[in-house]
Chains A and B, each alone.
Chain A
Amino acid sequence: MTEYGIRVNALHFRYADSSTAVLNGIAMEIQPGETVLLLGPSGCGKSTFALCLNGLIPDEIPGDFSGEIWIGPYMTGHTPAVRLRQQVGIVFQDPETQLVMPRVDEEVAFGLENLAIPEEMMRTRVEEALSQVGLAEKVRAQVETLSGGQKQRLALASVLAMQPAVLILDEPTANLDPAATRSFYRTLQALKHTTKATILLIEHRVDAVLPLVDRVVVLGKEGRVIAAGTPREIYATDGTLPYHAGIWLPSSCHLARALKSVGWPLEGCPLTIEEMEHAIRTVQPSLLRSEVAPDTSSPSVSSGFDTAISAEGVHFTYPDGTVALRDVHLRVPRGSFFALVGANGSGKTTLAKILVGLLPAQKGTITILGQVLTPRHRFQIARQVGYVFQNPEHQFITERVRDELAYSLDSSLDAEEQRRRIDSLLERFGLREYADFNPFSLSQGQKRRLSIATMVAMEQPILILDEPTFGQDYQSAQEVMSVLHALQQEGTTIFCITHDMQLVADYAHEVAVMAQGRIIFHGTPRALFRRPEVLSQAGLDLPPLAALSARLGLNGLYTVEDWLRWAALHTRGRINVSPANPQTASG
């Protein structure tokens, strides 16, 4: 295979149906064989850029295109389409809408047929590509029987079989759970050694991918490159630059920023948990030898509070025979922030749908705020429990943001009161300037906030959310979480389905873990992080900071706040160490 780099010059693009340009003068150069991570807030044109690289823009997608893109010796727009598509392969985000054929081997062959590869050669290439991604034994399986993670690896195999010089991965793990994400990147890591392809990786979350990449390019909101360099250069000086661009930092970077702000003499910005461990050991060896503040939090579930939701012995089997829930028992305290975690397909969403009356419990009892849920109460229960779906678009009914909110309000309110409430909701969810926009035209983060706002408008005491931070850039994820936190402070019970373990560490009071349709753990996040066997059974990871704390032999430092408290305690401890005050010294 030939090795080609990428050269981009003054690239501008505006979609035909839009008045503003997405890409505004992008220039970059990627060396042959390099692996580059492309970062940027959502809506900054990363996916559009990917489509420019393989020539679909300007070949197939109409718009205003100017500038130059060179893939090795080929200039897009002036190279036969078949050559360009073969040289530049893209794996997209959604497994459902990039697979074409019903069977695994046919899927891989689809691209080869388009390239008019001779029949005999196709079979070898199909088998090779499938074994490269670990799907060799699935060669004749139906695509629909694969898991989400397997589908993404199949999409990767389908592109690899075409033997591209440039491989683009556009948020390939956004729809996957932590275990499938890990396995996808393990596959990619192995591939880096066997293929010589130049790899461009587009991702929001950087923790898992930084060890894989040689260089990082950051796109700004205006569709221009605002920074490029090695990961270390990009995150030097505390990662201030990406932080202000609204993109995710590695967790170690967040912690380093915080510790530096209280005066720790850390050098640069550690990119991984391993580096952070090393940095702490170098800077504060004495602290590690000192007694660690004991984890005083109660490991058990709070029992003194009222119950918002309770499930007893709930079973559910889908018509195709898939058993989704087996004897589920769960109690959610009123006013708490409750997290439900587990791998994809473990039954989380099924349970949530039963709790809001969208599916019937086939056995067992659901009680919502003291009232037993029966099919007859289905509609009344919806007044008690709001449900925010994973895909916000499914919830939109009207063609204006303002109308969306009005739809949720009690129609018996007078017009003045309605307007007042809508305005205050728009303000609170940062949507004031968008009141007259079509909901479908908002950015991902805005759509998510609107979908939560439509539920909050109904003022139910319980709010269930399915993956509220899914696919969001750092800034919008933070905004969503601060809204949820504020709601919980005001007394709303928040029930949150998530894969994001740092979110659990930062916000949840209690957490339940599901695996194969059963609740295998229920307790505080702190208690969960002390049970690695539970996490691995459910295919979950420790949140990065908890992993760091475990590596250093410090128990119970799971959030940035924990670390700061611990740091403060020890700084004070050292200052106060004197024979006159022995008690403080031991703290």
Chain B
Amino acid sequence: MKVVSTYLYQEWNTPLHRLNPVAKLLVFSCFILTATLYLDVAVPLTFLIVSWLMGWIFAHISPLALMRRLSPILAAALGLAIFNTLFYGGPREHLLVALGPIHIWREGLFIGSSIGLRILCVASYSILYMWTTDPSRLVASLMQQARMPYRLAYAVLAAYRFLPILQREWGHIQAAQQVRAAHLSRHESGLRRIVRSGMPLLVSGIRQAERLAIAMDARAFGASPRRTHYIRTHMKASDYAFTVASLAACGLILFALSELGLLRSFLVGVAESLAGAPQ
């Protein structure tokens, strides 16, 4: 089993790459939060387009390339959107399509696409972040700008390190078990296979994590409360400017959407479905 790339991170030199990782984290989290708090189509759609534009303008990543990286999530988002459209059980008024037992309501379509778009939006910003952020600089700026305790900051890095290791182990275990189970039941369900592989994955995951922890401790990690930094990160004027401008843009977008009557608050949505009352 080959691991294609350990980190999603691509070492380019673009404005989005040069940005302070904590500033970028703040802005992206804010966008994701806004996009998911509205049970709505317009908001996640707008922020999805914003992520494409940001990637395109500031990091030379074409929307197409970004979406290609997202393809597995794209499928999941589409599936969820269709499911929620077809099995919509909330208040309904406008029937769009009726094909035998299949009824598609406008309200159902609205909820379905909203859920799908929100998933895409979260994924799009996450991929864009990992693509343009050097994990070492992220850890450095978490410690230096966000004042995070260094043990916690390094846990972030350990998570980065562990994804590919677990991915590779999973491949090994699947292969080994395919070889062993071959004579038994070739039509074993996927779920059973996952359960059966889970135990070795857990055992080997824990053991590898222990080894990594011991290796880190052996190099004096955590031995002293004070630490120096090999990588320095700073909040430059451009970082402040980007943060302020982005947050302002976020507010502006919401204002514009509400002026256009396209905004429906998450809370309103929840209240409506709980009450079950038609609008």
Give A contacts to B, CB under 8 Å: 51, 54, 56, 60-61, 80-82, 85-86, 89-90, 92, 94, 96-103, 105-106, 109-119, 122, 126, 142, 144, 158-159, 162, 318-320, 322, 353, 356, 358, 379, 382-383, 386-387, 389, 391, 393-397, 399, 407-408, 410-411, 440, 454-455, 458
B37: A residues at CB distance < 8 A = none
Residue numbers in A under 8 Å from B176 (CB-CB)? 387, 389, 394-395
Tell me which residues across on chain B come within 8 A of A411, comparing CB atoms.
184
Q: How many residues of B contact A (CB 8 A)?
A: 58
B252 at interface by CB-CB < 8 Å:
no
- Smallest CB separation, B233 vs chain A (Å): 13
Query: Are the CB atoms of B179 and A98 closer together than 8 Å?
Result: no
Q: Are A94 and B211 in contact (CB under 8 A)?
A: yes
Select one of B135, B179, B229 contacting A113, CB under 8 A: B229
Contact flag A81-B220 (CB < 8 Å), given A100-B212, A106-B230, A358-B178: yes
Indicate if the CB atoms of A393 and B136 lie closer than 8 Å.
Answer: no
Chain B, 218-249, contact with A by CB distance < 8 Å: what is the 0/1 string?
11111110111111100000000000000000
Pair A113/B2 contact, Cβ less than 8 Å: no
Q: Main secondary structure on chain B at its contact with chain A?
A: helix
Q: For the complex, is B83 an interface residue (Cβ under 8 Å from A)?
A: no
Q: Determine whether the beta carbon of A114 is less than 8 Å from that of B227.
A: yes
Q: Given A100-B161, A100-B212, check contact A382 B220 (CB 8 Å).
A: no
Known: A96-B165, A389-B176. A117 touches B217 (CB 8 A): no
- Across the interface, B224 reaches (CB within 8 A) one of A89, A101, A115, A394, namely A115
B214 interface residue, CB < 8 Å from A? yes
**Which of B178, B199, B228 interacts with A117 by CB under 8 Å?**
B228
Stretch in B4-12, B13-21, B118-126 with 4+ CB within 8 Å of A: B4-12
A101 near B228: Cβ-Cβ < 8 Å: no
**14 more A-B contacts (CB under 8 A) besides A90-B215, A99-B215?**
A80-B223, A81-B220, A92-B215, A100-B212, A102-B136, A102-B160, A103-B136, A106-B231, A110-B216, A110-B221, A119-B232, A159-B219, A319-B2, A395-B180
**A407 vs B178: C-alpha distance in the bound complex, in angstroms?**
13
A356 in contact with B200 given A51-B214, A110-B219 (CB within 8 Å): no
**Least CB separation from A394: chain B residue:** B176
Identify the closest chain B residue to A391 (Cβ).
B172
B157 within 8 A of A: yes
| Shortest Cβ distance from residue B116 to the other chain A in the assembled complex, whole angstroms | 28
Query: What residues of chain A lie closer than 8 Å to B164, measured between beta carbons?
Result: 144
A114 close to B218 (CB less than 8 A): no
CB distance from B176 to the nearest CB of A (A): 4
Q: Are A60 and B217 in contact, CB atoms less than 8 angstroms apart?
A: yes
Tell me if B183 and A458 are in contact (CB < 8 A): yes
Return chain A residues, CB-CB under 8 Å to B182: 379, 382-383
Question: Which of B2, B135, B217, B220 makes the CB contact (< 8 A) with A115?
Answer: B220
Inter-chain contact A408/B212, CB cutoff 8 Å: no
- Determine whether the beta carbon of B157 is less than 8 Å from that of A319: no
Q: How far is the CA of A382 from the CA of B186 in the complex (A)?
A: 11
Q: Which of A89, A102, A393 contacts B200 (CB 8 A)?
A: A393
A97 to B204, CA, bound (A): 12
A440 to B211, CA, bound (A): 16
Q: Is B203 in contact with chain A by the CB < 8 A criterion?
A: yes
- A81 contact set on B, CB distance < 8 A: 220, 223-224
B175 touches A353 (CB 8 A): yes
B208, CB-defined interface residue at 8 Å? yes
Expressed in whole angstroms, the Cα–Cα distance for A332 and B105 within the complex equals 65
User: Which residues of B lie under 8 Å from residue A106 when comparing CB positions?
Assistant: 136, 230-231
